[in-house]
Amino acid sequence: MRIATWNVNSIKARLSTVLEVLGAIECDVVCLQELKCETDGFPYMELEELGWTCAVHGQKSYNGVAILSKYPLDDVQKGLSTMEDDQSRYIEALVMAETPIRVSAIYLPNGNPAPGVKYDYKLEWMEALEGHARQLLKQEEAFVLCGDYNVIPGINDSWDETVWAEDALALPETRQAFRRLRNLGLTDVFDMCDGRAHQYTFWDYQGGAFPKDHGIRIDHLLCSPQAADRLSGVEIYRKARELEKPSDHVPVIGIFQD
């Protein structure tokens, strides 16, 4: 089973790009972030015609997350169980494959400028995600937390650590919160299956960042021990950034044995 995470940076503005990439990566499940559309405005028809089942938690103009699946979806939950939040940043569902697996689409707050109320919200959200992950782990089932975490985990995950040192994505408190989440017993799919330095998932539109490879790695898949037992590979689909109207993020794909 191929499970991807991808921040599409407006699904309506980039629908043709999204459809092209979905065809190319040949995934069974794709978790999308930053839809920038309301739930009712999601392009269900175009995706369902291609065989996708869609679970959507949208929001006008901002945020928004969705799960696309080639299998039926069950037990769909919108929002974290551990936090009341009026922003659409989390959706979770059970993928009813022959061997079921639970997935979530996460769009973690950016947090800039930091310090400030936006950074406080980011840390609050990360704490709530940690609490929700604790609850999921108690169920002892296979699950994958897929998303744009807006976290640069370490110094080898950006093209220049000094450029990002004061950014909310790389502040010590951010990295500590991300480590606490992983240290619950979750496996970082990229670290386990690849782990090379300077492999990026995001390049800014400004300053020729992509041709210069001035990127950062902020899109992650974290999985439970039961899912990690099935893990066999990972891919970062850089070709998505080369398209005519790309997102500034590219898909990250985890490969799991059925």
**156 assigned binding-site residue:** no
b/e per residue, 96-123, with b = 16+ CB within 10 A? ebeeebbbbbbbbbbbeebeeeebeebb
**9 assigned binding-site residue:** no
How far, in Å, CA of 27 to CA of 50, rounded? Answer: 12
Q: Which amino acid is at 122?
A: K
Is residue 237 annotated as part of the catalytic site, yes or no?
no
Q: What strands lie across the sheet with 2-7, from one edge to the other?
A: 53-57, 65-69, 29-33, 2-7, 252-256, 231-236
The answer to whether the CB of 111 falls within 8 A of the CB of 119 is yes
Is residue 198 annotated as part of the catalytic site, yes or no?
no
Catalytic residue, chosen from 148, 157, 167, 188, is 148
Phi, psi of 42 (to 5 degrees): -65, 145
**86 assigned binding-site residue:** no
**38 assigned binding-site residue:** no
How far, in Å, CA of 44 to CA of 38, rounded? Answer: 12
Catalytic residue, chosen from 57, 132, 220, 249, is 249
Is residue 107 annotated as part of the catalytic site, yes or no?
yes
Which tokens is 250 given? 């590219």
**213 assigned binding-site residue:** no
**7 assigned binding-site residue:** yes
How far, in Å, CA of 15 to CA of 121, rounded? Answer: 30
Catalytic residue, chosen from 107, 119, 149, 200, is 107
Select from 6, 250, 238, 31 the least CA-distant residue to 144.
Answer: 31
| Binding-site positions for Mg(2+) | 7, 34, 148, 150, 248-249
Positions marked catalytic: 107, 148, 249
| Binding-site positions | 7, 34, 148, 150, 248-249
